[in-house]
Amino acid sequence: MPTAPAPPRASWGELLHGRNALHAIALAGGVGLYAINVHIVTTILPTVIADIGGLALYAWSTTLFVATSIIGSTLSARLLERLGPRATFLLALAVFAVGSMLCALAPNMPLLLGGRSVQGLGGGTLFALSYALIRLLFEERLWPRAVALISGMWGMATLSGPAIGGVFAQAGLWRWAFWALLPVVAALAVVVGRQLDRNVAKTACPGPPPYGLIAGVVLSVLALSAASLAERLAWNLFGIGLGLAIVVLIARRDRGPERRLLPDGAYSLRNRLGVLYTIMCLLIAAMTTEIFVPYFLQRIHGLGPLAAGYMTAAMAGGWTLAALLGAGCTGVAAERLMRLGPAIILLALPTLALMTPRTQWLDNIAGLVSYCLALTGVGLGIGLGWPHLMSRVLGAARAGEETLASASITTLQLYATALAAALAGVVSNSAGLVDPGGVDGARHAAAWLFGLFTLAPLLVLWLVRRVLDRRPGQPAGADRRH
């Protein structure tokens, strides 16, 4: 009996040809716009602070942007259902453009933060849409290529974001870094408006989003961010406690069979999924220290925005490089990478805590290279085990919750970034970033920030050992499989 011919192998040429190419440009452009914006703002923020003030609100630029990104990414499925792909994509681009214009026109930090919040709402929707539309626009055999292309936009952003932000910042034209995003938005809108098929099927959404839980997520981030503004330690601790209490409340409320934010077992360290999610959050916390690196390098070491931006991007570059190199490992080799990663971070963060406050360390080539290696080491330590961590998350989910576990990875990653940024703001401000401020304040803040966040890889080492050393017959809670 003759067998059916095997379908032709998908190729990059097929993905990047004709209508597929235009669809790929649109989706990759959405993620690229989001990612480049992240690196641009990280690079120009010290210059922005020097111009319009607001040093105490430094970390808020990240926390508010990421918090509203969570809202946008979570609501994207509902928008797709009601508006369809084309209208949803154009709406997200319009919101992002409005946020960029508000940032460019902001006369002070509070108004710039408002613009960043609007940017995050549109950017988070674009971020989620770019992945959600892959299965609607491409044949299934092209999906892996499309995912790889979209994911590669973060690597491109690592190279281009600091360059764009650094050039404008060094010229004293930081506002133009936001204006420069608008032509990209317009070009994407043209591609989407003309090429995204009107007859692409709308997605079916199983139910309304968990609005109460999403509101709790945002409130917990805001509570932690507000704690960074208090001058007294008691109020700092109160804000942190309130933010963590809201997290506990979210965990207690997120138990219904429908409209869940995270899958069952995500909030318990007695469950493999909860341990894996905790490892993710701690790794993201280590990475989030990067938001203050440009300020430290410019304020303490006198580097220009361009140089500081590219040195900071070494963290993201290390993550991308390590993920590409280690993704193909399996079995024992993959487990070794999961153990090695946090050990590298455990070396890198104390090195940064030692070198950043002392100007003499970066006065020569050897010192600069060592510092860049330490920055790269943070990202490298995360990227080595990240692909294998993600695969274990999907394997640890209960039967029937695999899709929710997959979708929740982005939500959890954004939430962890927002929380870690808020905590970084609390630590830095409490350590003297604002009072006494200046070079001395920045030195104290750098030492405390990198020093305290070294606890994150320490905890990861312990948790990874729990995950990898667990054997059949040991208590596993609701674990399904290794």
Kindly report the CATH number assigned to the domain that includes residue 451.
1.20.1250.20
**Domain identity same for 228 and 334:** no
- The stretch 171-196 carries a mean pLDDT of 91
Residue 249 domain flag: yes
If one compares 302 and 261, the residue with the highest pLDDT of the two is 302
Residue 428 domain flag: yes
Residue 1 domain flag: no
The residue whose two tokens read 């950043």 is 356
The residue out of 174, 197, 220 marking a domain boundary is 197
If one compares 49 and 24, the residue with the highest pLDDT of the two is 49
The pLDDT, as a whole number, for residue 114 is 96
Give 471's pLDDT tier (boundaries 50, 70, 90). very low
The pLDDT, as a whole number, for residue 406 is 66
Whether the predicted pLDDT of 310 surpasses 60: yes
pTM confidence score = 0.84
The pLDDT, as a whole number, for residue 477 is 39
Longest Cα separation, the chain: 83
Residue 393 domain flag: yes
The pLDDT, as a whole number, for residue 469 is 73
Q: Does residue 60 contact residue 114 with C-beta atoms inside 8 Å?
A: no
Q: Does residue 75 contact residue 125 with C-beta atoms inside 8 Å?
A: yes
* Percent of all residues in the chain with a pLDDT value above 70, rounded to a whole number: 89
Whether the predicted pLDDT of 303 surpasses 50: yes
Give 205's pLDDT tier (boundaries 50, 70, 90). low
Provide the domain count of the chain: 3
**Domain identity same for 248 and 276:** no
**Domain identity same for 95 and 175:** yes
**Domain identity same for 138 and 248:** no
**Domain identity same for 158 and 235:** no
**Domain identity same for 228 and 180:** no
Q: Does residue 352 contact residue 374 with C-beta atoms inside 8 Å?
A: yes
pLDDT in tens, 43-101: 999 999 999 999 999 999 999 999 999 898 888 877 887 888 889 999 999 999 999 99
The pLDDT, as a whole number, for residue 380 is 93
Give 474's pLDDT tier (boundaries 50, 70, 90). very low
Residue 64 domain flag: yes
Tokens representing 278 are 């905790």
Helix/strand/coil (H/E/C) assignment for every residue in 170-224: HCCCCHHHHHCHHHHHHHHHHHHHHHCCCCCCCCCCCCCCCHHHHHHHHHHHHHH
CA 433, 434, 438 angle in degrees (round to 5)?
70
Q: Is 400 left (phi over 0), alpha (psi -120 to 50) or beta?
A: left
**Domain identity same for 178 and 36:** yes
Residue 38 domain flag: yes
Whether the predicted pLDDT of 292 surpasses 50: yes
Angle between helices 85-105 and 181-195 (to 10 degrees): 170
**Domain identity same for 185 and 288:** no
The pLDDT, as a whole number, for residue 478 is 40
Residue 126 domain flag: yes
The pLDDT, as a whole number, for residue 232 is 76
The pLDDT, as a whole number, for residue 475 is 41
Closest alpha carbon to 281 in 374, 386, 132: 386
Mean pLDDT of all residues in the chain? 85
CA 392, CA 377: separation in Å to the nearest integer? Answer: 23
**Domain identity same for 120 and 151:** yes
Q: Which residues of 320-346 are buried (b: 16+ CB within 10 A; e: fewer)?
A: bbbbeebbebeeeebbebbebbbebbb
Q: Is 250 left (phi over 0), alpha (psi -120 to 50) or beta?
A: alpha
**Domain identity same for 146 and 61:** yes
Closest alpha carbon to 380 in 318, 326, 327: 318
Angle between helices 18-52 and 109-132 (to 10 degrees): 160
If one compares 277 and 2, the residue with the highest pLDDT of the two is 277
**Domain identity same for 104 and 165:** yes
CA 455, 357, 429 angle in degrees (round to 5)?
65
**Lowest-confidence region among 145-159, 183-197, 199-213, 334-348:** 199-213
- The stretch 315-327 carries a mean pLDDT of 83
Closest alpha carbon to 119 in 137, 105, 135: 105
The pLDDT, as a whole number, for residue 407 is 65
Helix/strand/coil (H/E/C) assignment for every residue in 132-175: HCHHHHCCHHHHHHHHHHHHCHHHHHHHHHHHHHHHHHHCCCCH
If one compares 180 and 4, the residue with the highest pLDDT of the two is 180
**Lowest-confidence region among 88-102, 166-180, 204-218:** 204-218
Encoded amino acid at 449, one letter: L
**Domain identity same for 372 and 245:** no
The pLDDT, as a whole number, for residue 201 is 52
Q: Does residue 319 contact residue 417 with C-beta atoms inside 8 Å?
A: no
The parent domain of residue 234 ranges over: 211-253
CA 346, CA 377: separation in Å to the nearest integer? Answer: 9
CA 142, CA 20: separation in Å to the nearest integer? Answer: 10
Whether the predicted pLDDT of 449 surpasses 60: yes
The pLDDT, as a whole number, for residue 360 is 81
Residue 127 domain flag: yes
Give 284's pLDDT tier (boundaries 50, 70, 90). very high
User: Does the N-terminal peptide bond of residue 436 adopt cis geometry, omega within 30 degrees of 0?
Assistant: yes
